[in-house]
Amino acid sequence: MTDNLSKNVPAFNVPPATKYVVAALFIVHLMTEVTTPDTLEWVYQNFSFRPALVSAILDNPTLPGLFHIFLTLNTHMFLHHDWMHMILNAGMLLAFGSMVERRFGATRFLILFFLSGWLGAFAEYLIADPNLDIVLYGASGGVFGAMGATSILMLPRYRFRGVLVFIGVLLGVNLIIGATPLGTMLVGPGAGIAWAAHCGGFVAGMILAFVYLQKPAATT
């Protein structure tokens, strides 16, 4: 019986919501790769998260401006600098997102992914120079949210000390890459590592996972 059951388990058993998000990352990036340079520039200007523009909107809020902020909080997560950037985020999401979705379900995973991306973007907004019109894009905030949630799920097995080491290594590597020329070497010229967005997403994921564990999802 054990042998028969094992034959029915897919080799790559990725939960559906994680699978669809990763597929969306791939499809959107493929579309940006085949479009014209002018269209690509328009996409990044209108659908990435731009802290300077957000500051200008919040100084004089309007309904269309607030809608633009909400829109770009979501759309910036599906834009990437190049194939390496997209593949790294997609690969980490397959690993950590799958763990989160299996534990909490598809709805809670998606809430965690997007809220972590939002809070990661606002973390970058808080440290950004309002005089520089930088553009923030990439799924890293949501990916690091899944990592943060995973660290909470590891507690029963690895205890506080083991999880603390896991967190220290992840955030330490993130800060080193983001604050040194190593980041530019990895992502190429003209781009940098949004370390604040990573940290913000990670903390958001930890908090949401802790909240989820206090109130388990209803099962049928």
Taking the C-alpha atoms of residue 212 and residue 214, their distance in angstroms, rounded to an integer, is 5
Rounded to 10 deg, the angle between the 63-75 and 51-59 helix axes is 160
Taking the C-alpha atoms of residue 171 and residue 177, their distance in angstroms, rounded to an integer, is 10
| Class of residue 148 by CB neighbours under 10 A (exposed 0-12, middle 13-18, buried 19+) | buried
Name residues whose C-beta falls within 8 Å of residue 97's C-beta, 6 or more positions apart in sequence. 15, 17, 18, 21, 22, 109, 113, 143, 146
Domains, the chain, ordered by start: 22-214 (1.20.1540.10)
Residue whose C-alpha is closest to residue 115's, from 136, 153, 90, 145? 145
Residue-by-residue pLDDT tens, the chain, 220 positions: 434 434 444 445 889 999 999 999 999 999 999 999 999 999 999 999 999 999 999 999 999 999 999 999 999 999 998 888 899 899 989 989 999 999 999 999 999 999 999 999 999 999 888 778 889 999 999 999 999 999 888 877 666 666 666 666 666 666 655 555 555 555 555 556 777 888 899 999 999 999 999 876 654 4
| pTM (2 d.p.) | 0.82
140's tokens: 């890293």
